[in-house]
């Protein structure tokens, strides 16, 4: 929403489109389900790469200044394996475990995987909000600059062009981030249970089947909470 794409595109062929959230319906393919998982993984990786206190991670992707393509290739390979292999496989295995615990043989793991994975979207979007909040609060000056000159045409609608750099409530950023994480975690738990309830048709089986995935959601949320509140 920074409109930078509008400013930089030389062909004037950009548009904005509102789309409904994917968790309102089921996924049609395993690829869509894996995309939802990759969305969450990318949010965590972006936060670590851009905002973490560990410059070594940023150096790995800074090929302009460091020109170390070997490190960049290693970073890309680890990211692809994690986002497209390890995490989708983990959720697939935990979905299969949920079916085994409930002794449901009338449905396949692939079917349940597609039906239940939209539940991860609230947590994934919350993790993107964690990334966005820190970016917005620390670079709020650029928001005001964009509002004054949204298309880079030399306007000064609000009189904020050339204003000094301002950070908004930096000490409150971890609290806001933690709030987003807990909200996303709660929504994912609620959505996941409801989706397992549709699969099993029984509340007890739904709870048992969803428990393996709950451990994954909890581990991810706890890790991110520790990160945002300590670093």
16: which DSSP letter? -
Domain residue extents for the chain: 29-230
What is the rounded CA–CA span in Å between residue 7 and residue 4? 5
Q: Please tell me the pTM assigned to this model.
A: 0.82
Tokens of 125: 């979007």
Tokens of 123: 């947590």
pLDDT per position in the chain (231 positions), as tens? 567 777 788 887 877 777 665 445 678 899 999 999 999 999 999 999 999 999 999 999 988 888 899 999 999 999 999 999 999 999 999 999 999 999 888 899 999 999 999 999 999 999 999 999 988 888 888 888 888 888 878 888 888 887 888 888 888 999 999 999 999 999 999 999 999 999 999 999 999 999 999 999 999 999 999 999 998
Give φ, ψ of 167 to 5 degrees.
Answer: -105, 140
* Residue indicated by tokens 């972006």: 46
């Amino acid at each position: 929403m920074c409109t930078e794409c509008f400013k930089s595109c030389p062909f004037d062929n950009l548009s904005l489109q509102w789309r409904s959230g994917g968790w309102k319906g089921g996924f049609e393919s395993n690829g869509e389900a894996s995309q939802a998982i990759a969305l969450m993984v990318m949010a965590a990786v972006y936060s670590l790469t851009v905002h973490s206190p560990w410059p070594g991670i940023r150096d790995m992707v800074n090929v302009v200044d460091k020109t170390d393509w070997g490190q960049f290739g290693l970073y890309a390979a680890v990211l692809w394996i994690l986002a497209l292999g390890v995490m989708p496989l983990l959720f697939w295995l935990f979905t299969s475990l949920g079916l085994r615990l409930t002794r449901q043989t009338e449905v396949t793991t692939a079917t349940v995987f597609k039906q239940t994975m939209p539940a991860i979207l609230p947590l994934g979007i919350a993790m993107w909000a964690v990334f966005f909040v820190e970016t917005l609060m620390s670079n709020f000056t650029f928001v005001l600059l964009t509002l004054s000159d949204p298309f880079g045409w030399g306007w000064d609608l609000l009189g904020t062009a050339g204003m000094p750099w301002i950070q908004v409530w930096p000490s409150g950023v971890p609290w806001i981030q933690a709030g987003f994480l807990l909200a996303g975690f709660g929504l994912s738990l609620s959505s996941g249970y409801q989706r397992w309830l549709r699969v099993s048709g029984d509340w007890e089986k739904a709870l048992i089947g969803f428990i393996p995935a709950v451990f994954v959601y909890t581990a991810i949320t706890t890790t991110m909470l520790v990160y945002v509140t300590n670093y």
